[in-house]
Amino acid sequence: MTLIVMAVLSTPSTAQTQADLTAQAGADWKRADVAMNVQYRATMAFMKTMDGHAGAQAGPSYSQALLASQRAWLTFRDAQCVIQGYGYRGGSAEPMERLACRATLTRERTKQLKDLVWQR
């Protein structure tokens, strides 16, 4: 419920229909996804430099661990947002709720990825 209120409050006043609100939620998610992918590439580049450091040979490499983490996170995000949308299951707001969930979780993941780039 909170995500719908946030989505409605954050959308421009031009949105009048559920289809408009869903489209705006989709655009918000796409922007968040682009930002996350940019950060993922930057974090992966950093992890690959860490792979070359002494002591990085034991266990999975930094870059392998990041790839596994990202894949698991994508699976989690998609499943979590299906659950989130079930609050409106079968209704016209369900797709908007799922998209708003994706945007929120994707922005959180972007911050997590950014925090993985250590300054040493």
> Can you give the residue ranges of every domain in the chain?
19-50+61-115
- What per-residue confidence (pLDDT) applies to 16? 85
Q: Is the dihedral of CA 42, 45, 49, 55 positive or negative?
A: positive
How far is residue 108's CA from residue 67's CA, in Å, rounded to a whole number? 17
- Give the span between the Cα atoms of 7 and 78, in whole angstroms: 18
Residues in the chain: 120
Distances from the Cα of 42 to the Cα of 50, 87, 88, 107, angstroms? 13, 36, 37, 15
**Considering the entire predicted model, what is its pTM?**
0.81
Predicted pLDDT at 10 = 63
Nearest to 62 by CA among 3, 18, 1, 117: 117
**Contact present, 75 and 5 (Cβ < 8 Å):** no
Residue 58 has pLDDT above 80, yes or no: no
For residues 9-38, average pLDDT: 87
Q: Using alpha carbons only, how large is the chain's radius of gyration in Å?
A: 18
Q: What is the spatial distance between Cα 109 and Cα 77, in angstroms, rounded to a whole number?
A: 10
CATH topology of domain 19-50+61-115: Substrate Binding Domain Of Dnak; Chain:A; Domain 2 (1.20.1270)
Percent of the chain with pLDDT over 90: 74
**How is residue 53 written in tokens?**
């450091």
